[in-house]
Structure 1
C-alpha cells in the first residue's frame, strides 16, 4: 500500500487533469473533442494508482483489463465507450458529437465520485489541487479559499484566491531573483513611484501628465510580467474584475501583510451571472 501523502498528491494530479478536461469539453465542438483524450488520461492515471496501491503489476494491462483484475470498479461499459471514442479520435480522426462529449464528462465525473471513496476512503470533491503547489504560503491561502467556497462564503473565497495569487507572484519572483539571475524573465524594470511630485508639484499640468505616464507605465509593466509567466491575460483581467483590490505591504522578505478594499457586491453578482452562461 502506498504512503497516504503520495496517494493524495497523485489524486491531486488526477483532479487537475479532470479539471483541464472539463474546461476543454466546454469549448466549441472541434476543440471539445480533445477533452476525450484528457478524460482518458485522467482515468488511466487513476486506475494505475489503484493498482499500485493494491501492489498489482499493471504495466502490461490494457485499459479494460483493470475491470478484470479489480472487479469492484464501476461503470465498465461506459469506460469501454470512452476508450472507443479515444481510439476514433487518435487513430481514425473521427471526432465525437457534442452530446457524446457531454455524456463522457458526466460519466467520468460519476466514475471518479463513485470509485475514489471506495478505493482511497476520500470523496473526490474533497481532493485539493493545492497539494501540487510548491510554496506553502500560497497553498495555505488556496486551502482557505476552498474551505470558504465549500461553506458558501463566496466573497471570502475570492479574497483568499486573490491573496494566494499575489503571494504566488511574490514567492515566485523572490525565488527567481538573485544577483546571478541575469536571464530572469521577470527582470522588466522596477515599478515607478510618485517621487516626481517633489520635482513638479501636485497641482499643475506637468503633475497630471507625469501621473498618467506613471500609471500607464506601471500597468504595462504588470501586463509584461503576467504574460511573461504564461498567464492567459484575458482570464487575468476577468480575475481582477471579480476579486477585491488588495494592497500588499512587504514588511520583510518573507513577511507580507495584505489589506482588502471591499468592492461593491455588484462584482459578486457579475461573477454569478457569468458562471451561469
Structure 2
C-alpha cells in the first residue's frame, strides 16, 4: 500500500506487487480448497479452476478488475508502459476489495482478522504485541508504541542473550559491560588533592570520559550488528527507534 502512494515513477512498480499478492492468494486458495491447479496457468483461468472448490454457483469476486490489473502489469513489465496515478489508485482499491470479498469465501474468516502477530512464534513477544494492539484500539498510541518497543527488545534479546550452552549465541557479538563516567568523582577526590596529584587526576579523568564514550559507541555498533545480522532493515529500525519511546 505504501509503495503505491510514492511519487511517480516509483509508485508504478506497486502494480507488480499487487499482482504478486493476488496471485499468491489464488495459489494458496487452490491448496486450501484442494483444487489441483496446473503448473502453467493463465491469470484469468484461476477463477474458473477455483470455482470447483467453492459452493455451487459460486465464483471468486473481482475477476474483471483483476484482469484489468493484470493488463496494466503486462504493459509495464513487457512494454514499459507506466500506469497513471489514477490507474494505480484504482488497482489499490480493486485489490483491497478482492481480498475483503474473497477471504471469507475461501477461508471462512474476514480479511481484517489477518494479523502479522500470528506469524510470531515466541509467546512472550506475542503478549507484548497483543497488548500494543489493545492500546492502539483504545487510541492510546504512546502506550502502544512503548509496548512495541518492549516487544522488539524482548525478541532481539532472546536471540542474542547468553544461554547455558557450549556454543555462544551467533548474534551476540561479544559481551559488553556498562561503564559510567567517573570523571566527576575523580575530580572531587580529597585524598588526591592532598597528594597534589592534579595532573594525574586530570589524565585519569580524561581516560574515564573516553572509556564512557567508547562504551556507548561500541554498544550502539553492537546493537546495529545484531539487528543487521538478524535480517532487519537497519534504516527502518532506526526510524522505529525514533518513533518508539
Equivalent of residue 44 in structure 2, options 58, 64, 87: 64
- 1:143-184 per-residue CA deviation (whole Å, 9 max, x = no partner) reads 3323332333322221221111111101222499954459x3
1:93 aligns with 2:80: yes
Larger Rg: 2
1:137 aligns with 2:138: no
Structure 2 contact 180–212 (Cα < 8 Å) conserved: no
Alignment CA distance shift 1:102-1:191 (3 Å): farther
Q: Which structure dedicates a bigger proportion of its chain to strand?
A: 1
Query: What's 1:247 paired with?
Result: none
CA distance in 2, matches of 1:129, 1:100: 28
Query: What's 1:166 paired with?
Result: 153
Query: What's 1:34 paired with?
Result: 13
Alignment CA distance shift 1:105-1:222 (3 Å): same
Structure 2 contact 61–98 (Cα < 8 Å) conserved: yes
Kindly tell me the number of residue pairs found equivalent between the two proteins: 219
Alignment CA distance shift 1:225-1:51 (3 Å): closer
Uncovered stretches (5+) of structure 2, i.e. residues with no partner: 52-57, 188-204
Equivalent of residue 55 in structure 1, options 20, 34, 45: 34
CA distance in 2, matches of 1:142, 1:95: 39
SS of residue paired to 2:102: helix
Uncovered stretches (5+) of structure 1, i.e. residues with no partner: 1-21, 245-277
SS of residue paired to 2:185: coil
CA distance in 2, matches of 1:27, 1:92: 22
CA distance in 1, matches of 2:82, 2:38: 28
